[in-house]
Structure 1
Amino acid sequence: RGDTKALPGPTSSYGRDRLADPKLTEMRFNLKRAPRRARPGANVTQMHYARRGLVTPEMEYIAIRENQRLETYPEPLSRQHPGESFGAATPRVITPEFVRDEVARGRAIIPSNINHPESEPMIIGRNFLVKINANIGNSALSSGIAEEVEKMTWAIRWGGDTVMDLSTGKNIHETREWIVRNSPVPIGTVPIYQALEKVDGRAEELTWEIFRDTLVEQCEQGVDYFTIHAGVLLRYIPLTARRMTGIVSRGGSILAKWCLAHHKENFLYTRFEDICEIMKAYDVAFSLGDGLRPGSGFDANDEAQMGELATLGELTRIAWRHDVQVMIEGPGHVPMHMIRENMDLQLKLCHEAPFYTLGPLTTDIAPGYDHITS
């Protein structure tokens, strides 16, 4: 579209250091293509084009792809089960214009980083087919690059529509490069995980500069969406003291520890506009993380969770001002009779942005069996 430019190489300090390290030569993916970024003053997000009435090739592809599944399984996909649809209404035929309209309204997102051309365009939203995410990632104790690529391959083969790389071990940069380069589906990450590794696991030593460099590094590798825990505010943290299971989100606990150590507001919240500026230059979507999600049915829909949800709605509006795509990460442990309340509030507070739920898990007594309890 002529709105991006090739960069001479990685522009993040960490990315340049990894590229210059001769010890990593054998491990590195030999990519010949230079990373790209929006031209100065340009916005390259799918939402930006959609709001200007432009149907992109990605939107056309998505319409064809969604219709193929609808044509293959017309009867089960058109059947309405008893219950609440919360306003969702998938048309019998998906048109490119319908895709454009849903993206423009913020009710659907197309995670499609300009540096991930290997990915086939797909859409996440209430008026489209349900999408499933699969999590992979190495740790300090296990798994190398080959194992993670194999995990990704099997996750996609068995129906994963997106994959999140939640690596926390060694060589995160190189592992992610191999995953992205081999993935035909969007890849998501939680950048605060890698930023924490850069300060040797000491949350109080995190800085905006380290986090920003990590964002740019991952944008230039081709990560399609970031989980950003910008709603964990200092004033919400004391509300978790009365919980049965406290803060169970890893990203949420990292930011809570930083806020309490410095007695300052979450820097992801105070720097949110700066994050938007970075993400719109590469078309990376937000998954606004629910760092205060409930870890037990007892804590479901409490003041901390709902306070954060309201803040995520506020941040959604800010991201949309920049034409950056947003989905909202959802809980978590929620008893079945409380799901409707949670859903109604999410639609109201977050302006119908897609709700990417981690379940919800309707019982606490089956850890390790989320595929059954969600």
Structure 2
Amino acid sequence: MTQAYSTQMEAAKHGIITPQMATVAADEGIDPEIIRERVAAGSIAIPANHTHTALHAAGVGEGLRTKVNVNLGISGDVHDYSCEMEKVHTALKFGAEAIMDLSNYGKTHDFRMELIGMSPAMIGTVPMYDAVGYLEKDLAQITAQDFLDVVRAHAEEGVDFVTIHAGMNRKAIDSFKRSGRMMNIVSRGGSLIYAWMEMTGNENPFFEHYDELLDILYEHDVTISLGDAMRPGCVADATDASQVSELIELGLLTQRAWERNVQVMIEGPGHMTLDQIAANMQIEKRLCHNAPFYVLGPLVTDIAPGYDHITSAIGGAIAAANGADFLCYVTPAEHLRLPSVSDVKEGVIAVKIAAHAADLAKGIPGARDWDDRMSRARQKIDWDAMFEEAIDREKAEEYVASAQPSDPHTCTMCGKMCAVRNMNKTMAGEGVNIL
């Protein structure tokens, strides 16, 4: 990037197409000038910290393929960094464009530096999670400046985006207290800030010192992902006063960030019934000025522990088809435990399917090419070609190998009654022999 401009947005506003914009344009098959215009307007974000040299830049936002994020990181009960790195490799193998290190125990610096050093995917964090371990202070003893110092440390290390729950101010808390929510606040970072505010009597430090926060992010071109502390944690709480009042504030904070040339993404729900998803996407785009929307799920029902990668993928497909730009995966372990490597695999595959299904619905250029290649392989009953196009090749191969048909041009579901086999024969003028 030209040295005079510190961020992707600043360069874009001055008519500069950065190498990262050119990469996004090439990957998406879109004119680089269109990418530049949308970065300047804020409808596309390209999270790309100056010091993340392993990064393969990806764009999030208007007209682009739906991107997916994988959460991982150690906890106080399970802190095996080698296992977390195995999860990283699994996420990258199955095409995650972003990885968030949500480690919340001990000194997380070394793992984060290793992750930034090797990952072509963008890296995100929630600095609030790291504050207690980084500062070695109890929550009530942490100062507003301490919180900003942790953000600065993450920015200097090279993270590309940070989730900051800046919209949960005193006004939003007042709405929350009067709303009578079933699940209260389920955002981990949001709950910690709420507790800090209640214990100290102070305003949200990230809201009160927002300009200083933006200065830190601008210096390193760290994208701010404005977190939804008030996201609904059950379908009963969806689209309530707490959620909407915070979203209004996030829209105002978005404009302030753009004025300082800091890129923005907006985080969204949460748990939500199917009929509310499309409207929520439209509300976010309207209130937050078409900023990229990053959603967790939404999970469309609360009854499926052990299968929440499915409840999330259903909601994610609908959300992305109606305007969401970035989907955060959910694993089968959601609400139950820290996910294993196999949980990560199941979660990332489910969300990649949801994202691709949405891209088909939105008519993203080139999205259907993948499906067409698979369809041509199926029409020819070309197993090797089908395996090549499968989102999880190993699983597809295992299924076929586990039950061999008498005719290798079929599977054990239909055998010689296979419609594809018989149509191929008939169309070629051959007879069809079932017996």
SS at match of 1:327: strand
Q: TM-score scaled to structure 2, two decimals?
A: 0.69
In structure 2, C-alpha distance between the alignment counterparts of 1:144 and 1:165, rounded to whole Å: 13
**Per the alignment, in what secondary structure is the counterpart of residue 229 of structure 2?**
coil
In structure 2, C-alpha distance between the alignment counterparts of 1:163 and 1:130, rounded to whole Å: 15
Q: How does 1:1-374 map onto structure 2 within 5 Å?
A: 1=1, 3=3, 43-67=5-29, 94-198=30-134, 200=136, 202-241=138-177, 242-374=180-312
State the distance in 2 between where 1:202 and 1:126 align: 42
**C-alpha offsets along residues 143-198 of structure 1, whole Å, 9 cap, x if unaligned?**
33322222111111112110000001223111111111111110000001111324
Do the aligned residues in 2 keep the contact of 1:43 with 1:280 (CA within 8 Å)? no
Tell me if structure 1 keeps the 8 A contact 2:74–2:102: yes
Residues 143/261 of structure 1: CA separation in 2 closer, same or farther (3 Å cut): closer
Letter in 2 for 1:262: T
Aligned equivalents of 2:172 and 2:149: distance in 1? 27
User: 1:359–1:370: 8 Å Cα contact kept in structure 2?
Assistant: no
Do 2:106 and 2:134's aligned partners in 1 also have CA atoms closer than 8 Å? no
What residue identity is the alignment partner of 1:144?
D
Matches of 2:123 and 2:142, distance apart in 1: 24
Report the Cα offset of residue 201 of structure 1. Answer: 6.8
Per-residue CA deviation, residues 10-54 of structure 1 (Å, 9 max, x unaligned), is xxxxxxxxxxxxxxxxxxxxxxxxxxxxxxxx6411010011111
Q: Which amino acid aligns with 2:272?
A: V
Classify 1:236/1:103 alpha carbon distance in 2 versus 1 (closer, same or farther; 3 Å): same
Q: Deviations over 1:213-264 (max 9, x none)?
A: 2122111111000000001112322433400100000011011111111222
Rg larger for: 2
d(CA) in 1 for partners of 2:148 and 2:300?
37
CA distance in 2, matches of 1:359, 1:325: 23
More helix by share: 2
* Structure 1 unpaired stretches of 5+: 4-41, 68-93
SS of the residue corresponding to residue 236 of structure 1 reads helix
Question: Equivalent residue of 1:226, what SS?
Answer: strand
2-side partners of 1:255 and 1:290: how far apart?
12
Structure 1 moving runs of 4+ over 6 Å: none
TM-aligned CA deviation for residue 199 of structure 1:
5.0
Structure 2 Cα separation of the partners of residues 174 and 2 of structure 1:
31
With normalisation by structure 1, the TM-score equals 0.80
Q: Aligned-pair distance for 1:336?
A: 1.0
How far apart in 2 are the matches of 1:62 and 1:128?
9
Q: Distance in 2 between matches of 1:107 and 1:114?
A: 21
Identity in percent: 42
Q: Distance in 1 between matches of 2:71 and 2:301?
A: 21
* Amino acid in structure 2 at the alignment position of 1:143: H
Q: Which runs of 5+ in 2 are unaligned?
A: 313-435
Q: CA RMSD in A?
A: 1.5
Q: Which moved more, 1:171-180 or 1:106-115?
A: 171-180
Q: CA deviation at 1:2?
A: 6.0
Report the residue type matching 1:358 in the other structure.
L
Q: CA 1:61–1:145 in structure 2 vs 1: closer, same or farther (change >3 Å)?
A: same
Following the alignment from structure 2 to structure 1, what is the Cα–Cα distance between the partners of residues 306 and 160?
28
